[in-house]
Amino acid sequence: MKTTRRSFLTAGAAAGALGFPMIAKAQSPITWKMTSAYPKGSPFYMDGPGSATDLAKRIEAMSGGRLKIQVYGAGELIPALEGFDAVRAGTVEMNHANSYFWTGKTFAAQYFTAVPFGLNFQGINGWFYDGGGIQLWNEVYAPFGMVAMPCGNTGVQMTGWFKKEINSVADFKGLKMRIPGLAGKVYATLGVDVKLLPGGEIFPALERGVIDAAEFVGPYQDRRLGLQKAAKYYYTTGWHEPATVSELLINKAAWQKLPKDLQAVVENAAAACNVISEGWCQKTNAEAMEDLVKNHGVIARPLPDDVIKALREQTAKVLAEAVAKDPIVKKVNDSYMAYKAKFDAWSKFSETPYHTKIQA
């Protein structure tokens, strides 16, 4: 007998009466809310390949419409940096941001966004997917009732924009710089007057001389803010953010209620966005960097070796202090650094000679 829609639904109702889950009920879509730390329209974070809206589209397509994600930019449902509390409380099921915004809740969160002089895009993914990184991320968030996974990456960022040349460590003394997070703490040890400004306030502050230097992301995003009109020295490379990870933060109770196949959909969509967003950054940054140097008079150069040496030493000191204060930071740090030692040794045989040959 041919199964008609009517007989199918009747069978479902009968199964429901017998205590089996009703098919019609199982197929009704689940709708989740996802907030972001970035405003609507932000390239990379909210719009474009691998962004929050792209992630939501992929989840809906891969689940055949069974899981729908409503995406909210910063300020639409909650303020920019309240995603941690909102997901923890279950007000929203998901938040799309960077874990280093939550270092005030738990310092270990820093390791899942970026560690100065840490792992690059290839390295961080090796640690996340195969080196226990995601498990540790979930362990750090277990007391808060949340789980997390990577869902995007900017690739390597840039040191930033400086009004004056940097020739030595002494040039940092008294320099007013916009720089968030752990890198800010490191710069502070060199005498930098660290300023925390949201993205939109960087250009006016740099142009008016309220600050002397600023870091934001990389060539594409920085050019969009117009930073090249306010400073000409653009230092490389992103020692402070070698591969900045976007975080998909999920309420654990909601996650555990999600059927296993939909969990797999979320995990695979997030992994896809992780790769796709980084690819997009590489392409757009390559174009923007060329434009900045050729058409905007930007002077791009690496920081002097002694400056890099000092930043490296200070980073080690700042991390050692954090490790000494908290056992979970020590656990995450030990895993990250052990993996990095292996990755760096392998890179010496693999990537490093390859790049040297290309330049020769």
Which residues of the shown chain bind Ca ion in the complex (CB under 5 A)? Answer: 157, 241
Q: Which is nearer to Ca ion, 54 or 241 (CB)?
A: 241
> Smallest distance from the beta carbon of 69 to Ca ion, in angstroms?
26
Own/partner pairs, 317-326, CB within 8 angstroms, 24+ separation = 317/189, 318/182, 318/185, 318/186, 318/189, 319/115, 319/182, 322/107, 322/110, 325/107, 326/107, 326/108
Q: What is the largest CA-CA distance in the chain?
A: 85
> Smallest distance from the beta carbon of 220 to Ca ion, in angstroms?
13
> Smallest distance from the beta carbon of 283 to Ca ion, in angstroms?
19
> Smallest distance from the beta carbon of 157 to Ca ion, in angstroms?
5
Give CA angle at 42 (273, 161), nearest 5°: 105
Q: Which is nearer to Ca ion, 183 or 269 (CB)?
A: 183
> Smallest distance from the beta carbon of 241 to Ca ion, in angstroms?
5
Q: Which is nearer to Ca ion, 16 or 184 (CB)?
A: 184
Q: Which is nearer to Ca ion, 63 or 285 (CB)?
A: 285
> Smallest distance from the beta carbon of 45 to Ca ion, in angstroms?
12
CA gap 98, 244 in Å, rounded: 8
> Smallest distance from the beta carbon of 217 to Ca ion, in angstroms?
5
Q: Which is nearer to Ca ion, 171 or 241 (CB)?
A: 241
Q: Which is nearer to Ca ion, 120 or 347 (CB)?
A: 120
> Smallest distance from the beta carbon of 131 to Ca ion, in angstroms?
24
> Smallest distance from the beta carbon of 40 to Ca ion, in angstroms?
20
Q: Which is nearer to Ca ion, 147 or 177 (CB)?
A: 177
Print burial letters for 67-101: b (CB count within 10 Å at least 16), e (below 16).
bebebbbbeebbebebbbebbbeeebbbbbbbbbb
CB 211 within 8 A of CB 178: yes
> Smallest distance from the beta carbon of 154 to Ca ion, in angstroms?
8
Q: Which is nearer to Ca ion, 157 or 251 (CB)?
A: 157
CA gap 42, 44 in Å, rounded: 6
Q: Which is nearer to Ca ion, 145 or 226 (CB)?
A: 226
Total residue length of the chain: 360
Q: Which is nearer to Ca ion, 269 or 311 (CB)?
A: 311
